[in-house]
């Protein structure tokens, strides 16, 4: 028996609870005490024994075959992002002892690139800390500035919540991105600090983290209700930085020739003459 957290079992239980009998094609007979599928139903639909599935959920077997995982994933209606995450949970590798924290350091070229961009842009760390930003990003949201953390702001700051008309969807996406970013490294001190604070202060965070949603960080449109220019939709792009692991360049841009482009231009003109200013710092991470 291992002392490692039972991440595979926790994930299977969470996702099992999100699949209804109707979705699985099972008749709903009698009263169900818990939401979702029963363990024996997952086992039956996946073609494995109920006893073996019980061992997986309880952490008694942590190395199922790829074929077994794919069968379970089919029953739980997992998409590609969730399946990729599921496959990372089975390797029973000993954790290395932690050395001194590494620094999340922006390559100088990326800082210069931020200054040259005519769109709101910032660089974020693994846990969505703002490590560098230009002034137009700050004009879009005062929280998009160095020292801010998007998780803390999105869940705890009413002003930031008001910026997003689709706040519930935005928070669900953000936590799914966080789950994908963290992976199995849930004993990271920075993650423990943030998750502990948010779990205590935000029922919404607790609800979403318990779902075990996973989603890659892809480009997507974002709706804003800005106090100066009103509602506008901007495309958000998250770009990997090849010289720095775990860092992302985030850029917001409108579709050309739209009212949203006009509103962003108005916001940019109001932010002049400091619109090309870039603020940045290094942050200790793990």
Residue 2: pLDDT band with limits 50, 70, 90: low
Mean pLDDT of the 92-99 span:
48
Residue 122 φ then ψ, to 5°? -155, 165
Give the global pTM: 0.82
Q: Which of 24-33, 58-67, 71-80 has the highest mean pLDDT?
A: 71-80
The answer to whether 85 and 74 have CB atoms below 8 angstroms apart is no
- Give 90 or 30, the one with higher predicted confidence: 90
Residue ranges in 27-90 assigned as alpha helix (H): 39-46, 50-57, 66-75, 80-87
pLDDT at 112 over 80: yes
pLDDT at 154 over 70: yes
Mean pLDDT of the 145-170 span:
95
With CA atoms as reference, report the closest residue to 233 among 259, 195, 271, 194. Answer: 259
Residue 182: pLDDT band with limits 50, 70, 90: confident
No. of helices (H) and no. of strands (E), the chain: 14, 8
Residue 18: pLDDT band with limits 50, 70, 90: very high
pLDDT at 216: 84
d(CA 116, CA 278): 9
CB atoms within 10 A of CB 227: 9
The answer to whether 64 and 75 have CB atoms below 8 angstroms apart is no
pLDDT at 74 over 60: yes
The answer to whether 113 and 243 have CB atoms below 8 angstroms apart is no
d(CA 1, CA 14): 22
- Give 257 or 97, the one with higher predicted confidence: 257
Is 94 exposed, middle or buried (CB count within 10 Å of its CB: 0-12, 13-18, 19+)? Answer: exposed
Structure tokens at 46: 């996946």
pLDDT, one tens digit per residue, over 20-55 is 999 999 887 777 877 899 999 999 999 999 999 999
């Amino acid at each position: 028996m291992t002392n490692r957290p039972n991440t595979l079992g926790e994930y299977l239980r969470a996702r099992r609870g999100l699949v209804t009998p109707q979705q699985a094609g099972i008749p709903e007979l009698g009263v169900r005490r818990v939401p979702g599928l029963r363990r024996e139903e997952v086992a039956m639909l996946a073609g494995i024994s109920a006893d073996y599935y019980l061992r997986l959920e309880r952490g008694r077997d942590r190395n199922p075959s790829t074929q077994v995982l794919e069968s379970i994933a089919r029953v739980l209606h997992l998409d590609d992002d969730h399946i990729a995450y599921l496959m990372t949970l089975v390797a029973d590798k000993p954790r290395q002892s932690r050395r001194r924290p590494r620094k999340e350091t922006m390559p100088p070229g990326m800082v210069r690139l931020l200054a040259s961009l005519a769109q709101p842009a910032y660089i974020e760390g693994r846990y969505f800390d703002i490590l560098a930003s230009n002034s137009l990003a700050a004009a879009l949201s005062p929280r998009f500035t160095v020292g801010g953390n998007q998780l803390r702001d999105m869940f705890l700051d009413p002003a930031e919540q008001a910026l997003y008309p689709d706040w519930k969807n935005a928070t669900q996406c953000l936590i799914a991105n966080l789950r994908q970013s963290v992976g199995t490294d849930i004993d990271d001190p920075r993650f423990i600090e943030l998750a502990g604070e948010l779990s205590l202060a935000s029922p919404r965070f607790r609800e979403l983290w318990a779902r075990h949603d996973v989603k890659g960080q892809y480009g997507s449109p974002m709706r804003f209700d800005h106090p100066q220019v009103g509602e506008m939709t901007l495309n958000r792009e998250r770009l990997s930085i090849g010289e720095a692991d775990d860092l992302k360049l985030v850029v917001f841009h409108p579709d050309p020739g739209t009212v949203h482009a006009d509103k962003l231009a108005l916001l940019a003109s109001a932010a002049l003459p400091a619109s090309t200013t870039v603020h940045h710092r290094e942050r200790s991470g793990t």
